[in-house]
Amino acid sequence: MIKGFRSFILRGNVVDLAIGIVIGAAFGAVVAALVSDFITPLIAAIGGKPDFGALYFTVNGSKFAYGHFLNVLITFLVIALAVYFLVVVPVNRLMARYKPSAEEPTPTKDCPHCLSSIPEAATRCAFCTAELGDPVLGSPVPVD
């Protein structure tokens, strides 16, 4: 049982997922610090309040800290923008560069013998092997 658990934990996908979660959490903490320490004070200074995170209102003695909510909302938006511009856009460009170009389909005609769809330039049907004739002259091609 321990051997199976060890092989599960050491699989590449599980380790990659764990690394991604740790890096994502660290990135989220950095962005949260950026928003709370630089962006929201800048917005609050423009708005005339000294500390954006300290904004709140009270109703019947209950404190509603909407400034903290705005900090978290701005943090989310900054993370979403960073992920979009640093991950999604480059990956989409990379995928578009290596995506096979759509080729025009080969023009086809129907075999008069078996009614299968075959290329227009064919002189023999691939399905029933009937001779179809020269596409230029319209007469059967002689068989050697």
70 in the same domain as 15: yes
Q: What is the CATH number of the domain that holds 45?
A: 1.10.1200.120
Q: What pTM does this model have? A: 0.53
DSSP string, the chain: -HHHHHHHHTSHHHHHHHHHHHHHHHHHHHHHHHIIIIIHHHHHHHHT-S-GGG--EEETTEEE-HHHHHHHHHHHHHHHHHHIIIIIHHHHHHHHHHSPP-PPPPPEEE-TTT--EEETT-SB-TTT--B---TTT-SPPPP-
**What per-residue confidence (pLDDT) applies to 89?**
92
pLDDT tens sequence across 9-42: 777 787 788 888 999 899 889 988 888 788 877 8
73 and 12: one domain?
yes
Range of the domain at 137: 106-144
Q: Provide the number of structural domains found in the chain.
A: 2
User: pLDDT digit string (tens) for 46-102?
Assistant: 877 666 777 889 999 999 988 888 888 888 888 888 888 988 899 889 888 887 776
Say if residue 45 is in the same domain as residue 89. yes
Whether 125 has a pLDDT exceeding 50, the answer reads yes
